[in-house]
Every structure is written in structure tokens, then in C-alpha cells.
Amino acid sequence: MVGELEGEVECNDSHATQISRTKWARHGGLGPIVNHSCDPNCGVRVNETGACDFIAREEITAGDEITFDYAMRNYSVDHFPDGCLCGTDRCRGSVTGWKDLPAVRKADYAGSVAPYLLEIDRARDADAA
Ligand SMILES: [Zn+2]
């Protein structure tokens, strides 16, 4: 599913999508109605407009809900304090950002996340070295 941007916003909020290491935006089209799951059937891929397309990670059939992990495109997610309601066996209990994912989950999502998240990790790791 092709993603589209409505425009940049000044800072991260509950409806903002991170679009680079330091910028956030609102998605338009159908993107805003795609729910979070801790066991998502889609990943994201940044397209030429800077929006995130949703890319199937497994076979999706008619009638299936399309989901992705909000951590696939936002480094920090601090706006869902009441816990995650995805109901999957892999639910981590809260909707968190990329920074909060364990290494094994990050590895599982390889190729399905926004590239700026990996840039932030590399910069953080370089600073720590
Ligand atoms: Zn969950």
C-alpha cells in the first residue's frame, strides 16, 4: 500500500510519523488507519516522497487487517501509556518506539523499517564507543 504525506509537523506527537532523524509529519491516504501490532503482517519502506509504504511481510488475504509495528518508523513512541491492545502472542505489553525494541526484534524486522532508525542506532553506538 502506497503511503503519502500531508505535511510536516513541528514535533513528535501521537499522530506524527517520523520521516528522518529529526523530522516528523502527518501521513495522508489510508496510512493513518493502519493499526499497530507487535506481530505485524507489514513492514514499511520509505518511498520517493518521504512517506512510508506498507510492504507485506507475510501472505495477506482478503479480509485480513493490515498492521505494522509503530516502532518500524518512530524511534520514540511515548503517547500510548495505557498499554498495547494488539492481542498477539508476541505482544510486548506497550506500544514502544524503535529505541525500546530488543535486539532480537530489531533483527526480525530487518529490511522492514525506516532507514533513519538504523542511522540513529549507528550514531548512538558510535557515540558510546
Ligand atoms: Zn502488542
CATH number of residue 108's parent domain: 2.170.270.10
Which residues form the domain of 64? 5-128
**Centre of ligand 1 from the C-alpha of residue 37, in Å:** 5
Q: 55: closest CA among 47, 73, 43, 69? A: 43
Number of domains the chain is built from: 1
Q: 104: CA distance to ligand 1 center in Å?
A: 16
Residue 84's Cβ-side half-sphere holds a number of Cα atoms within 13 Å equal to 22
Q: What's the pLDDT tens digit per position in 11-70?
A: 888 788 888 888 999 988 888 899 999 999 999 999 999 999 999 999 999 999 999 999
Are 3 and 51 a contacting pair, CB within 8 Å?
yes
Please give the distance, rounded to the nearest whole angstrom, from the Cα atom of residue 39 to the centre of ligand 1.
Answer: 7
- The pTM score is 0.91
